[in-house]
């Protein structure tokens, strides 16, 4: 293994596919990157490297992240003086991305923080509570009382949109830690073998509020100095967004950087279930029925909700068809999921080819999977999908995933992706 800084990422195609790089763990939680432990978050080193490598003039780049998640690419683009655009089907992702890249004036923010601190100290309990019948399973009485009060305090700022969104982001960072649910697993569940002592919500909220305030003010100072921009566009579908892109008269992109979902992807709604208990009303995701319906919108989802898994879906390439056939022999549903994933990514490459300037690059971070005992080598299969639309793979290399903040407590076994691959495409 080789330990790398961003500047040392390979500039030529990797000759030895077995080589694994270690990335120096510097800057992973700097600034607003610390906001929210979003599942599947990729390291800021990747967009930082791509932005440096492909800025050929003093003119800012137009950068797109079509699976923007919690906004890593958008933060890096803005701080490097570029103009970033991003969208995502996940509503919490969009909220976090927007907050992480929206500067707030210190005087305004300090006044609002003082107001909400005073509010939650003077009142005993709030009126806003989840209506779920299992509330006591997820939260003890003190947590319900304090979280309810905090949410009610935040609602006092609803007319001040940027401040309101900022306070919601602080609230999101507190909810799971104040709950009975395990902090480290991808699934939201209450462990009986490793019981947890919830943190007190009110002091945790105040401490997080102070921390995030300092970070967003620092971001604003750097943002003003560099002159970059970031735009979170909405819940656009990465498989069919060009019509909306053009309707909004958005520019041709000269660099794209993203980390798309993996096959049998993380259940983002389930992973953030504790947060949706308290914020689902803001996104139309209060009920389990609404949440299950929304899960179908994610590429790589396992939630098919009545889909005919015997239906044949063209996965897009000969290589993916062979994989799907092997998986389908073992499990029809998983075969359908694999076919749908690569069909969706095929459609995504078709859309990207329409808005990326020829000769420019699309950098993707992807991970491989195992489905029904079959290795899904996503890093080796996506290049054929992209090639159908003029994307040429210039380089591919992988790095070891380190310092995970969401893991299964099973001695490193089960559900763990060991490496991420960086695929660097050029559009001919």
- Concatenated DSSP letters for 288-305? HHHHHHHHTTSTT-S--S
Q: What CA–CA distance (Å, rounded) separates 24 from 3?
A: 6
pLDDT (0 to 100) of residue 409:
42
Rounded to 5°, angle at Cα 362 from 358 and 364: 165
The pair of three-digit structure tokens given for residue 357, joined into one six-digit string:
């300037």
The predicted structure's pLDDT at residue 207: 97
Domains of the chain in start order, with CATH, are: 2-90+227-266+286-427 (3.40.50.150), 106-219 (no CATH)
Splitting the chain (428 residues) into consecutive groups of 10 residues, what average pLDDT does each group show? 60 65 65 80 88 88 96 95 96 96 93 96 87 92 96 96 97 96 83 89 97 94 90 96 97 97 84 92 89 90 84 92 96 94 97 98 94 94 96 90 48 56 95
In this prediction, residue 189 carries a pLDDT of: 83
pTM, full prediction: 0.91
Sorted by sequence, the CB contacts under 8 Å of residue 415 that are 6+ apart come out as: 186, 408
The span from the CA of 351 to the CA of 240, in Å, is: 6
Please give the structure tokens belonging to residue 251.
């520019």
Q: Are 110 and 117 in contact (CB under 8 A)?
A: no
**In the prediction, which pLDDT does 36 show?**
79
Whole-number pLDDT of residue 166: 97
Distance CA 269, CA 261 (A): 13
């Amino acid at each position: 293994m080789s330990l790398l800084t961003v500047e040392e990422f390979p500039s030529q195609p990797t000759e030895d596919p077995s080589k694994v790089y270690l990335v120096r763990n510097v800057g992973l939680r700097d600034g607003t990157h610390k906001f929210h432990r979003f599942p599947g978050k990729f390291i800021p080193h990747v967009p930082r490297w791509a932005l440096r490598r492909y800025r050929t003039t003093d003119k800012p780049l137009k950068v797109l992240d079509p699976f923007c998640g919690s906004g890593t690419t958008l933060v890096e683009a803005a701080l490097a003086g570029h103009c970033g655009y991003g969208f995502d089907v996940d509503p919490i992702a969009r909220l976090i991305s927007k907050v992480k890249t929206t500067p707030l004036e210190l005087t305004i923010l300090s006044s609002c923080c003082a107001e909400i601190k005073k509010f939650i100290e003077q009142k005993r309990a709030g009126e806003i509570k989840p209506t779920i019948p299992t509330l006591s399973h997820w939260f003890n009485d003190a947590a319900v009382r304090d979280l309810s009060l905090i949410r009610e305090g935040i609602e006092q700022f609803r007319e001040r949109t940027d401040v309101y969104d900022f306070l919601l982001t602080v609230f999101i960072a507190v909810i799971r830690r104040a709950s009975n649910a395990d902090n480290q697993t991808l699934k939201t569940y209450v462990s009986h073998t490793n019981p947890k002592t919830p943190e007190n919500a009110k002091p945790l909220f105040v401490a997080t509020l102070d921390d995030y305030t300092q970070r967003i003010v620092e971001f604003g100072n750097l943002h003003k100095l560099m002159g970059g921009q970031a735009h979170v566009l909405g819940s656009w579908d990465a498989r069919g967004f060009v019509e909306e892109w053009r309707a909004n008269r958005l520019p041709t992109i000269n660099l794209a950087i993203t980390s798309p979902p993996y096959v049998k992807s993380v259940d983002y709604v389930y992973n953030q279930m504790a947060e949706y208990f308290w914020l689902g009303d803001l996104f139309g995701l209060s009920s389990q029925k609404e949440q299950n319906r929304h899960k179908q919108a994610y590429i790589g989802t396992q939630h098919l909700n009545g889909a005919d898994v015997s239906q044949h879906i063209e996965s897009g390439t000969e290589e993916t068809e062979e994989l799907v056939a092997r998986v389908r022999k073992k499990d029809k549903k998983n075969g359908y999921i694999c076919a749908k994933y690569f069909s969706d990514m095929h459609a995504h490459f078709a859309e990207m080819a329409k808005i990326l300037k020829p000769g420019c690059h699309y950098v993707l971070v992807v991970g491989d999977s195992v489905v029904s005992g079959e290795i899904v080598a996503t890093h080796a299969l996506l290049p054929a999908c992209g090639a159908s639309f003029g994307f040429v793979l210039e380089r591919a290399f992988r790095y070891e995933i380190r310092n995970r903040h969401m893991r299964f407590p099973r001695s490193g076994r089960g559900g763990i992706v060991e490496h991420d691959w960086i695929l660097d495409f050029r559009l001919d």
